[in-house]
């Protein structure tokens, strides 16, 4: 059996990240198909090209901010499956900026990088907490695939 997944990092304050993104031109947008009904409802058989609109994406914005802040202090690569996570904290599921997990210890930033990142987060977005280990929202022991 494999132990439950734990993430190491910080809880995300969406408002702080959104403000930092806006102040530093880091807002992320995605192209989505426009769902508005066309005025030509009578001509449904006619093939029309879909209209696309740019929509603000909060999760991609947070990822963009996190990547930028990490690169500022020399952390070039965040584990892709970890960066945004949902963890159990304060008796509920909370959004979390995870630097790595208990299964990615070899990819962990150095202690010095963590301290610099912590100071950088404090200065840039007002993060006052130290990083911590929190369990993944899907907290359970898992059977190894070869068992």
Predicted pLDDT of residue 50: 77
Looking at per-residue confidence, does 24 or 88 come out higher? 24
For residue 23, the model assigns a pLDDT of 96
At residue 60, the pLDDT reads 87
**What's the pLDDT band for 83 if we cut at 50, 70, 90?**
confident
133 confidence band (pLDDT: 50, 70, 90): very high
**What local confidence, expressed as pLDDT, does residue 138 receive?**
86
Q: What DSSP character marks residue 1?
A: -
Three-state secondary structure of 63-128: HHHHHHHHHHCCCCCCCCCCCEEEEEECCEEEEEEEEEECCCHHHCCCHHHHHHHHHHHHHHHCCC
DSSP 36: S
| 105 φψ region: left (φ > 0), alpha (ψ -120 to 50), beta (else) | alpha
Of 8-22, 31-45, 48-62, 87-101, the poorest mean pLDDT is in 31-45
- Tens of pLDDT, residue by residue over 26-81, are 999 988 887 765 555 555 556 777 788 888 888 888 888 988 998 999 888 776 55
pLDDT at 38: 53
- What local confidence, expressed as pLDDT, does residue 147 receive? 44
Sketch the domain layout of the chain as residue ranges: 6-37+50-135
> Which pTM does this prediction carry?
0.74
- Mean pLDDT value across the chain: 84
Q: What percent of the chain has pLDDT over 70?
A: 86
């Amino acid at each position: 059996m494999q132990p439950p997944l734990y993430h190491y990092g910080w809880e995300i304050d969406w408002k702080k990240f959104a403000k930092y993104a806006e102040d530093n031109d880091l807002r992320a947008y995605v192209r989505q198909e426009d769902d508005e009904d066309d005025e030509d409802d009578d001509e449904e058989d006619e093939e029309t090209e879909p209209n696309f609109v740019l929509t603000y994406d909060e999760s991609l914005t947070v990822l963009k901010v996190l990547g930028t802040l990490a690169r500022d202090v020399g952390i070039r690569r965040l584990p892709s499956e970890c960066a945004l996570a949902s963890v159990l904290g304060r008796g509920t599921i909370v959004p979390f900026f995870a630097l790595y997990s208990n299964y990615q210890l070899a990819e962990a930033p150095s202690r010095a990088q963590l301290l610099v990142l912590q100071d950088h987060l404090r200065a840039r977005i007002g993060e006052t907490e130290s990083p911590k280990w929190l369990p993944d929202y899907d907290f359970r022991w898992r059977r190894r695939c070869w068992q």
